[in-house]
Structure 1
C-alpha cells in the first residue's frame, strides 16, 4: 500500500534515474528527498554496479554530504586516501577540499547506499581530477534544474581580471 501523504514516499514508488558516462561512471538512483518534497535535506538511494564509479571526484564549498552503505562492498576515495566500505558504514563529507570524494564498487555485487546532502544554494563544486569548477544558483546540486538561475562548469585555470570587460 502506497503512503497517502505527499511527504511520505515508498522506495518502490520512486523511479530509478540512470547516470552513465564512458566506461567508468555509472549508477542509478532514486531521489527520495525530492519525491517527498524535501527542501533542506536531500536523500537518494543509489546503486553502483560492480566495476563502476559514482560521480566524478568532487567536493562542495557549501553543501555537506553523507553516505550510509546498505549492501555490498566498495572503496571511498576521500582526499588522498582510499578507504574500504561495507554495509553498515557511515561517511560524513563536510564541505572542503579535505573531503574530495568518489565511491568505487570494487566488489562483486551492486553497492547500494543512501546519499544525504544539505540542499544549500548557491554552491561551488570543485573537481580535482578534471581540474574544473561548477557554480550553481537557484537550486542546489540534485535540486530542481528548472529553478536554476546559474549553472556553469569552467576550467579551474579560467580567470579574468575583475575589471576585464568593463568600460573605463
Structure 2
C-alpha cells in the first residue's frame, strides 16, 4: 500500500490539485549537490511522463553532468537564475528560459545556481523503465532496468568469458 499523499480519489481517478499540496522532498550529496523538489506527476499518479517543480539553492549543483539514451528531458525556468552546463559550454538561464535535452544527445547536462537566491524550475522527462544514462566525468553508466551502475571503462569483448570450443555433452 502506498502511504505517500496523492491526488487519486477512492475510485483511483486523478483529480486536479494545487502544487502547494505536494510535499517538498530534499536530497543532497556532500556540500556540492542537492535540491528540493515537488514530484507533481507522481502525486497525480502519472506513469509515463515525469514532472517536478525543483528549487536549486545558491551554490548548489542539480546533478552529475549526464545524458540520456532513451529519455528526453526539458527544463523551464520559473524564477531566479542559474547556469546550464552543457558539455564544455555554459549558458546563463533566467525566468522564462527553456531548454530541451533530446534522447541520445551525447552531451552531458547539469545546472548550477551561481546566484545568491534560489532558482525554481520545472523539469519534464520520460519515465522509461529501460533507460540508460551516461555520466561523462565519472565514466558511470546507469541502467535503470537493472537498477545498477557500471564503469564505462570496464568494456568486454562480445565472446570474452565464453567457452567457444565444442564439447561433447554428457
Shorter-chain TM-score tier: 0.7 to 0.9
- How far apart, CA to CA, are the structure 2 residues paired with 1:17 and 1:96? 29
Structure 1: segments with no counterpart, 5+ residues: 138-149
Give, in angstroms, the shift of residue 132 of structure 1.
Answer: 1.1
Deviations 1:75-134 (A, max 9, x none): 000122100000010111112344420000001110100000022230110001111110
TM-score w.r.t. structure 2 length? 0.84
Q: 2:23 matched to 1:15?
A: yes
Indicate the RMSD between aligned Cα atoms, in angstroms.
1.8
Give, in angstroms, the shift of residue 17 of structure 1.
Answer: 1.3
TM-score w.r.t. structure 1 length? 0.85
- How far apart, CA to CA, are the structure 2 residues paired with 1:10 and 1:131? 40
Give, in angstroms, the shift of residue 41 of structure 1.
Answer: 1.2
Q: Residue 159 of structure 1: which of 152, 155, 165 is its match? A: 155
Q: 2:125 matched to 1:129?
A: no
State how many pairs are aligned: 155
- How far apart, CA to CA, are the structure 2 residues paired with 1:91 and 1:33? 20
- How far apart, CA to CA, are the structure 2 residues paired with 1:7 and 1:38? 12
Give, in angstroms, the shift of residue 161 of structure 1.
Answer: 2.7
Pairs within 5 Å for 1:140-155: 150-155=146-151
Give, in angstroms, the shift of residue 16 of structure 1.
Answer: 1.3
Larger of the two Rg values belongs to structure: 2
